[in-house]
Amino acid sequence: MSRKEFLLLFDEVLELPAGTLSGPERLEDLKQWDSAAMIGFIALTDNHNGRRLSPRQIVNCATVEDLLTLAQVYGEPG
């Protein structure tokens, strides 16, 4: 799955308009980022990348880019 496709699905998880997220957004600035969104991100990563993450791994992430790195989603930003 491409970075762009993953970000579009993550927009859906956070109930944001398609194309909102690009990577540098700080999680603390996203009012939609909460425990339910974290579970949604874990499910998204598992279902689309086959990568199993735990909340413990995610708590150290500060940006959407950090989450993408953790989920092993690579590609050109933008």
| pLDDT for the residue 72 | 86
* 8 A C-beta contact, residue 35 and residue 13: no
Domains of the chain, start order: 3-70 (1.10.1200.10)
Dump strand ranges (E) for the chain: none
pLDDT band (50, 70, 90) for residue 13: very high
* 8 A C-beta contact, residue 62 and residue 28: yes
pLDDT digits (tens, 9 = 90+) for 22-58: 999 999 999 999 999 999 999 999 998 888 899 999 9
Residue 73: closest CA among 7, 9, 26, 17: 7
Q: Which residues pair with 63 in a beta bridge?
A: 26
